[in-house]
Structure 1
């Protein structure tokens, strides 16, 4: 709607006034009875002479939207829920920082303030004050903050609202926001009072919500999101709950509540875990704050969910073919193949079915400790762009699925050396074993007493879980490894950033024991932040219980055992004169090893996912005759 003509204002203000009048109780206060009878929240229009007089008084020509507003009504009642009277030509006045708020917003400017800070600093002194009666709400038009159309920005602030001043692009934008606020508050009040708030605007908005729901299920989520966001601003039932589902799958969590769906018996299994997972992540000790747990049973359910979420044992479940795909994807993800897990979910998305009419997508996946990390923002968009619940044919998209997002795991092993000095794995040690599944690794190289794998955890959680299993002998440095599949026919056990130091004189590569009847590889890259000049790289390849070849590179020193193949020869891969910080020799070796064996390590699962874990047997042998081993321990002195 245009903001520069009287005709652009009148229908909007008449609709607002009529809807307000229809919503008033018969015993409305005497001050409002006149407005109810007249079905008009405004006043007579201001004459051109009165408008010019105001402009002369303040020394500015008024912005177009406020000037034409005054030509329709010289003031306004009930602008939203907290401004009861807006000024017309007689009562608008310069604010002149009357309350000293410039001291707090933005406060004392730094040496290099932002343009927004500079505008706000001057606004309090030059603004035109419009509120006459309000709940301590300031309404200020700023002649120093203008756009190309000559509109002035409008700022509101209230001491009871714990936020900086809110900016609107124009007086018209402010009034449209207040109209939406009137709708939100009236809808809330009508629900409390057990009545309906119905008018042509609410009916049109509710129809748009129904259409947006079908659009969202058909993959047209961007159009649906815009419609639902607008309807939610008006407080329409269902709009926020539906919109929050789209927002959460797009990676947004701020003010996502699902608007009562988490406390609905039908929808709670889908949405309550998502709220609890996010609340636990951000609040820790008060994770149930703000979560809908009205009854004792609901609270006990929430506490049980919270426990399983914190332990990483929560499992998202769904019905039908999509539920089967979820189980298959979980099996793939727990062994590190997160790209394959996503492919499985993506393929099954058209088979997903909602729990009810207010359910748009499998949002509950976000709470699953194994599958939730797979939902990056890009994949969230891909999920929402995929028609679901049988909408593909209706949407005319049966043969036009959305373009798939790129896989996240690079091939091979070389990525371990590609992340610079701040890389995720600045040091690492791992074992690759051929011909066995990951769950067989504890029996091959597990520490004494280890009988199986721990539940999936992050690499850092795995370290904490196995800390109590450390033996008393300090030299026995078993690795707290996470495990998974390393490509066709191979499994891995990897420890990131091991605390032990590599001493090739006492190193007992666990791959030798694991290689009985098969091949196994042991790699230890302790390159640190300063490259190989300050670290060490070791490779050992074993078969049938015997080491076939090995080498160690420490700075410029290289030692070899056995017939090292040409493509893995450290004399060729670690060239003299290269910058150690580039990790080029390390990268060449890992690339060659990955190519030779056809193996890979899952970067995404190691960085963001959860994998099974166990503690390995010692990587160092016990000190021999004549060898010593000293451990220093410090005890803090309490004052």
Structure 2
């Protein structure tokens, strides 16, 4: 006997019947049969004898699958199989559908010439299936004799004409009935009017499991918690979805998580509303109607807060804040991320996470930081798992292994093409002993020495062309990202420089080095136009100490170049293969690095520098483009 055939149908069906009877309100009973079922606390019928089941099988010409057979031996049919099947067939009503609905033709119309075997078999279901629905709300339930497992179980398919989806498959009849029991619970739990209260043995058991899942999640056992919450959610338990969405958001599951009403609860809005708004901003493309839908039931104050937060998120000005020691760590993490040290920013957050306190009993994990333009880029799928696995909220447990940092250190990573973009030309300035906030004054032209708000690389490029009304072939003033380049160094970086022209190039190293030391690197060794180039210049106290430029197949040197940086050591076979050792040499000699994750995925302050090219000389031609 299979496990499904041995299932205790009577206990299961008695519970279902009793909970259905207790859930009814005045006016819910459809007729005399329902009233009789309510009084008897039994949705079923008398059991079918073995002789009656055998007669049915002779009539249909097939032996019935084990789980349906064992069900019939307890109840010969069933009323209210969920919310949309009002009568399910017993031995007398089950019949071959034989395309009575003519749905086979409709599903076949959807097939194209590339339809696979599964799609063809699905369309033919309406000709071969055994129909179990007797009365329903335009819902069909068919047992499929051609979809049979090793235990002789037939798959069940359910389809409703008012749902825009393919027939839903269940492995067997028992699986289908369990799902109908869950549907009954979910509909009863979500109905309006709440009298009598929908509470019974099943809801109490599930709510106990939800609370256990909540405590487990705070201890770091998120995987077991999400399984329990997902199961309780299918029954419509009111806390399950809101708690589960918090876990799912960090797992990267789902694109429209709403936190199931928690976002409009004043206790949780400060943490959950910003991430809901940020996700909306990322997906809405300025259509804000869905945001109002997710805020239904909220008061005017909260709705106003949501739209104000939306403007901050779209403008990149939202700032996440939290209370207590964790909130203090958030401030430190933002400052680290602001200048590119995203790995240390993440460690700062996770080290403080055990001190984080929930805002209420349905709060599992801090999420508002995912709306912060500086903190949100810290998240990766691996880091989401680390955060969820860290005990917090006063709970203890085994802390997880820290995830690996995202920045490889050094400079050699610059030789690797950006994913999806083979362009590897770049330039940067390193200045020793000054903070990145001082770089605009050292690199600007006197008219523009401001530090702009943090931007992504894409936003910086768009801003550059949006704000620039005039460009010249002799004017090369890049918008550069700035940050920290290691102990005692700051950087300014441009990942999409103009074409390197050694005849007109002017290194900014000398002007940037007043009272300190500055390094300039411009690399296009992997040039797609076939003319690789590389430049290094080092200046101290306003004077260039040494430099070399490789261009047009030749090396030009000035000053006493340290042996570690000597171009002859690295450019004997010039080209892209020389780039990585050159970058390694610069990184090791000066003790610097650039933050890959912040430059590629995060947001950094920017500044516009003076031109990296000299003005035109007499007789030289140039082009000026003005935009209205």
TM-score when scaled to structure 1?
0.91
User: Are residue 517 (structure 1) and residue 515 (structure 2) matched?
Assistant: yes
2:166 is matched with 164
Match of 1:150 among 152, 155, 171: 152
Once the two structures are TM-superposed, the CA of residue 180 in structure 1 deviates from its matched residue by 0.8
Match of 1:628 among 611, 621, 624: 621
Contact 2:470 2:627 in 1 (8 A): no
Could you list the per-position Cα deviations for residues 344-385 of structure 1 after superposition, in whole angstroms to 9, with x for gaps in the alignment?
A: 011101100011111111021222211122121211111111
Could you list the per-position Cα deviations for residues 42-69 of structure 1 after superposition, in whole angstroms to 9, with x for gaps in the alignment?
A: 1222233343344344443322212211
What secondary structure sits across from 2:227 in the alignment?
helix
Match of 2:415 among 414, 417, 421: 417
Counterparts in 2 of 1:68 and 1:557: CA distance versus 1, 3 Å: farther
1:11 is matched with 11
Match of 1:561 among 558, 561, 564: 558
Counterparts in 2 of 1:140 and 1:548: CA distance versus 1, 3 Å: farther
Could you list the per-position Cα deviations for residues 129-158 of structure 1 after superposition, in whole angstroms to 9, with x for gaps in the alignment?
A: 222222212222222223332322222222
User: Are residue 381 (structure 1) and residue 385 (structure 2) matched?
Assistant: yes
Counterparts in 2 of 1:597 and 1:150: CA distance versus 1, 3 Å: farther
Give the alignment of 1:499-538 within 5 angstroms.
Answer: 500-527=498-525, 530=528, 533-538=530-535
What secondary structure sits across from 1:211 in the alignment?
helix
After TM superposition, the runs of 4+ consecutive aligned structure 1 residues lying more than 6 A away are 632-635
Counterparts in 2 of 1:129 and 1:407: CA distance versus 1, 3 Å: same
CA RMSD of aligned residues (A): 2.5
Counterparts in 2 of 1:106 and 1:470: CA distance versus 1, 3 Å: same
Could you list the per-position Cα deviations for residues 105-128 of structure 1 after superposition, in whole angstroms to 9, with x for gaps in the alignment?
A: 793255473x64354344343322
1:256 is matched with 257
TM-score when scaled to structure 2?
0.93
User: Are residue 585 (structure 1) and residue 578 (structure 2) matched?
Assistant: yes
1:615 is matched with 608
Once the two structures are TM-superposed, the CA of residue 208 in structure 1 deviates from its matched residue by 1.4
Once the two structures are TM-superposed, the CA of residue 215 in structure 1 deviates from its matched residue by 1.1
Contact 2:97 2:131 in 1 (8 A): yes
What secondary structure sits across from 1:618 in the alignment?
coil
CA distance in 2, matches of 1:538, 1:51: 88
User: Are residue 487 (structure 1) and residue 494 (structure 2) matched?
Assistant: no
Counterparts in 2 of 1:422 and 1:411: CA distance versus 1, 3 Å: same
CA distance in 2, matches of 1:186, 1:277: 33
CA distance in 1, matches of 2:95, 2:342: 63
Once the two structures are TM-superposed, the CA of residue 575 in structure 1 deviates from its matched residue by 4.4
CA distance in 2, matches of 1:527, 1:155: 61
Give the alignment of 1:387-466 within 5 angstroms.
Answer: 387-392=391-396, 397=397, 400-419=398-417, 422-423=420-421, 426-466=424-464
What secondary structure sits across from 2:73 in the alignment?
helix
CA distance in 2, matches of 1:589, 1:608: 25
Could you list the per-position Cα deviations for residues 184-212 of structure 1 after superposition, in whole angstroms to 9, with x for gaps in the alignment?
A: 111112x5345411111111111111121
CA distance in 2, matches of 1:632, 1:45: 88
User: Are residue 291 (structure 1) and residue 294 (structure 2) matched?
Assistant: yes
Contact 1:457 1:612 in 2 (8 A): yes
CA distance in 2, matches of 1:420, 1:283: 28
Could you list the per-position Cα deviations for residues 390-449 of structure 1 after superposition, in whole angstroms to 9, with x for gaps in the alignment?
A: 212xxxx3xx42111111110101011123784475322211111111100000002443
Once the two structures are TM-superposed, the CA of residue 542 in structure 1 deviates from its matched residue by 2.1
Contact 1:126 1:143 in 2 (8 A): yes
CA distance in 1, matches of 2:275, 2:434: 36
1:596 is matched with 589
1:243 is matched with 244
Extract unaligned runs of 5+ from structure 2. none
CA distance in 1, matches of 2:410, 2:240: 46
Could you list the per-position Cα deviations for residues 521-574 of structure 1 after superposition, in whole angstroms to 9, with x for gaps in the alignment?
A: 2222235674x8344332222222222333333464443333333333333323
Match of 2:103 among 100, 104, 117: 100
1:551 is matched with 548
Once the two structures are TM-superposed, the CA of residue 2 in structure 1 deviates from its matched residue by 7.3
Contact 2:416 2:424 in 1 (8 A): no
Match of 1:319 among 323, 339, 349: 323
Counterparts in 2 of 1:95 and 1:602: CA distance versus 1, 3 Å: farther
What secondary structure sits across from 1:533 in the alignment?
coil
Counterparts in 2 of 1:486 and 1:68: CA distance versus 1, 3 Å: same
1:273 is matched with 274
Could you list the per-position Cα deviations for residues 290-311 of structure 1 after superposition, in whole angstroms to 9, with x for gaps in the alignment?
A: 3205444333211110000011
